[in-house]
Structure 1
Amino acid sequence: MAQQLGLDLPSRPALGRDDFFVAPSNAIAVAMIEGWQAWAGRKLVLTGPPGSGKTHLAHVWANLSGAQIIDAADIATADIPALAQGPLAVENIPAIAGDTTAETNLFHLHNLALAEGHSLLLTGAPAVPHWGLHLPDLTSRMRAATAAALEAPDDSLLTAVMAKLLADRQLTPKPDVIPYLLLRMDRSFAAAGDLVAALDAASLALQRPVTRTLAAQVLDNGISAAR
């Protein structure tokens, strides 16, 4: 069958608590999010590799606490006093490393929000010592926060992540597709995301369901999630 141009529809991630699969690699982080009212100093740092669920858990926490969510890249131009009026999740903090304005604003936001009695969730891919922040006072406050890490996925978690990513794109794979992929893909959350995107694109272009045969073709064409 000739290839057709598919409609590149945006996926709709399911970000509710019931959509987050709990496994040994993330159980502590989930428990910390659910027990947010007991955070030491009213703040928590959440770390983990790309695609590991930091944003998902930030949304879970926002639903529990009524928090706003902001990307750290937007801190430089944000209204800091307004943001400090309630609980807040600041995502991807390493992205502002070396940005003097953003780091200074985050420092003031951190202090003001806590002074107002609100809680902070702070996220980044590596552990805090590797965030590369330049402002010493900000660095010390980040390092002083309790940290919870999302670890590399085991088979059960990676299976659940693949199933969720496929469902987010309204894809229903044949039962043997995910086990087949797990044996051949890079075992990371980022890899899973790239591979599902490639499967979605191939399914749309070829107007075919997601089968083991299609998965094999995607992998054979080098559209795996290797990084």
Structure 2
Amino acid sequence: MSQIALPLILRDRGAQGPARIIVGPSNSAAIDLLSRGADWPFRTAVLTGPPRAGKSLLARWFAESAMGEAIDDADAMAEDALFHAWNRAQASETPLLFVSSRGPGEWRIALPDLASRLGAALLIELGAPDDEMLAALIEDHAARRGVALGEGALAWLLPRIDRTYAAAERVVGEIDRLSLERKAPVTISLMRDAMAGNGGEWQPRLL
């Protein structure tokens, strides 16, 4: 499992270290496509994927690496502004990346000119993390928060949380909160309490 270190430090949800993009099977193809903006149809692409999958981080990496321009949360912006941005990018022959939290078919565009242009854009989708990436995400979130996971913590956690990016982030945040609150190291008992106290959002895959 590899990482992409961003050329900027992001302070995100209490984490203290620099944000990194964990590279694995769920996003390696997307990262390869992002690096080839000149090959996109009309040099335009739409990046989408699950919550907390790193869409914004990838967009910042894309822009900061001078591969093109990126518009985050494009599906929440005024459509005429997006259309003008598309025209400017075409005039300057600059690859343009739109980031959407809505998946294919969910982003309804009313402006016909914009709809036709984004309909022709390359769709880049991030997939769900596999167990190896989930483990790397948990370790990265823990390292950025300064949480020392005890021996066997990952082996205990992995079968018991939902296989999503958001779950990896939430469980480490709750473990960190309880560890600080109790002034106690991370143990199986503390992790069990962290999962039980997270509003019932955890979906055990193996108990």
With normalisation by structure 2, the TM-score equals 0.82
Structure 1 residue 199: Cα displacement: 1.4
Return the alpha-carbon distance in structure 2 between the equivalents of residues 224 and 199 of structure 1.
15
Question: What CA distance in whole angstroms lies between the structure 2 residues aligned with 1:179 and 1:133?
Answer: 44
Contact 2:50 2:128 in 1 (8 A): yes
Judge which range, 126-135 or 197-206, deviates more.
Answer: 126-135
Which residue identity lines up with residue 135 of structure 1 in the other structure? L
Q: 1:131 to 1:151 in 2, by over 3 A?
A: same
* Distance change in 2, residues 1:219/1:90 (3 Å): same
44 and 182 in structure 1: CA distance in 2 versus 1, 3 angstrom threshold: same
The root-mean-square deviation of aligned C-alpha atoms, in Å, is 2.2
Amino acid at match of 1:201: R
Per the alignment, residue 94 of structure 1 pairs with: 75
| Cα deviations by residue, 1:60-79 (Å, 9 ceiling, x for unpaired) | 2123216xxxxxxxxxxxxx
TM-aligned CA deviation for residue 143 of structure 1: 1.8
* Structure 1: runs of 5+ lacking an equivalent: 1-8, 67-86, 97-101
Q: Which has the higher contact order (CA 8 A, sep 6+)?
A: 1
Alpha-carbon separation, structure 1, partners of 2:190 and 2:171:
12
Name the CA distance, whole Å, in 1 between partners of 2:140 and 2:124. Answer: 23
Deviations 1:128-158 (A, max 9, x none): 4211222222222222111111101111111
**Residue aligning to 1:198:** 174
Q: What is the CA-CA distance between 1:51 and the residue it aligns to?
A: 1.0
The percentage of counterpart residues that share the same residue type is 34
What are the Cα deviations for residues 160-214 of structure 1, in whole angstroms up to 9, with x where unaligned?
A: 1111112221222113212211111122111222222211211221112223221
Residues 163 and 62 of structure 1: CA distance in aligned 2, closer, same or farther (over 3 Å): same
CA distance in 1, matches of 2:200, 2:180: 17
What are the residue-to-residue correspondences of 1:39-188 with 2, within 5 Å?
Answer: 39-65=40-66, 87-96=68-77, 102-188=78-164
Write the distance in 1 (CA, Å) between the matches of 2:104 and 2:85: 18
1:47–1:54 contact (8 Å) kept in structure 2: yes
Relative distance call for 1:224 and 1:53 in structure 2 (3 A) is farther
Unpaired runs of 5+ residues, structure 2, are: 1-12
Aligned residue in 2 for 1:210: 186
The question of whether the paired residues in 2 share the 8 Å contact of 1:26 and 1:151 is answered with yes
Q: Residues 90, 13 of structure 1: CA spacing in aligned structure 2 closer, same or farther, 3 A cutoff?
A: farther
CA distance in 2: counterparts of 1:56 and 1:151, whole angstroms? 15
Going from structure 1 to structure 2, the CA distance change for 1:43 and 1:13 (only over 3 Å counts) comes to: farther
Structure (1/2) with the larger helix percentage: 1
Partner amino acid, structure 1, of 2:128: A
Q: What is the aligned length?
A: 191
> 2:74·2:82 contact (CA, 8 Å) conserved in 1?
no
Letter in 1 for 2:113: D
